[in-house]
Amino acid sequence: MKPTRLAMLGCVLAIATISIPVSAQDPAADPTATMSAEQKAMMEAWARAAAPGPQHARLAQQFVGDWTTTTQFWTDPSAPPMTETASATARPLFGGRQVRMDYSGQMMGAPFEGMSLTGYDNVSGRYNAVWMDNMSTGTYLLSGDYDEASRTYTYTGEWPDPMRAGKMVQVRETVQIVDPDHHVIEMFESHDGVERRTMRIEMRRAE
């Protein structure tokens, strides 16, 4: 019988919490002593999947802190954008495996609150970003990659279209790390095969 995901996670946690070196003469104290080769291989795979790495460290270095934001958004591509300002605070979660950012400001004259989670999945080799706010009941997920040369994250995904039941909107987001204290986020949506920019956010570290 193959070990369950929950059982293997328990083994990983047991190994991770051992602070005293296990003696080779004391197999009873070693949680791996009674494991099969398959179980040990699975445990090692889960340990690799769970370990924070350089991608997680880079996310924390780039995003953790306090920010001010200026957001332009377009409801009509032929009209000038509306502009709003907000503040944001980012902090690491789960030992640096995720970065949580909380936003607070105004949107079209109404109070606005939003939260994002950003992390790197060791298994898929991709970055994942989750967004939710007080102006929607949806939870939005994007995944993407980081280009070292341009210092840009590019995420893609699809969201339900509130204007057309059962239809999905193709979404692309870019996050350019201009410098350690300045980021530019741009959001694009595709409708009927035509992509247009819907939002641009300038983020600057608060002094």
Domain assignments of the chain as residue spans, ordered by start: 5-50, 54-205
Residues 6 or more apart whose CB falls under 8 angstroms from that of 165 comprise none
- Ranges of residues in the chain with a pLDDT under 70 are 1-32
Cα–Cα dist 140/160, whole Å: 9
How many angstroms separate the CA atoms of 194 and 20, rounded? 60
Residue 191: per-residue pLDDT: 87
Q: What pLDDT was estimated at residue 20? A: 38
Q: Where are the beta strands (DSSP E) in the chain?
A: 65-73, 82-93, 98-107, 110-121, 126-133, 140-147, 152-160, 168-179, 182-191, 194-205
Tokens 């030992």, residue?
95
143's CB contacts (< 8 A; 6+ apart) are: 124, 126, 127, 128, 129, 155, 156, 157
Strand 168-179 relative to strand 152-160, pairing: antiparallel
List C-alpha distances in Å: 78 to 75, 81, 169, 185, 202: 9, 9, 20, 21, 21
Q: Give the model confidence (pLDDT) of 103-135 as tens digits.
A: 999 888 889 999 999 999 999 999 999 999 999
Q: What is the pLDDT of residue 24?
A: 47
Note the pLDDT of residue 131: 97
pLDDT of residue 170: 95
What pTM value is reported for the model? Answer: 0.82
Which numeric CATH code is attached to 54-205?
A: 2.40.128.20
Instruction: Give the per-residue pLDDT at 11.
Output: 52
Q: What tens digit of pLDDT does each residue of 79-93 get?
A: 899 999 999 999 999
Instruction: Check if the beta carbon of residue 172 is closer than 8 Å to that of residue 156.
Output: yes
pLDDT at 196: 94
DSSP H or E segment with residue 5: helix 5-16
DSSP 20: S
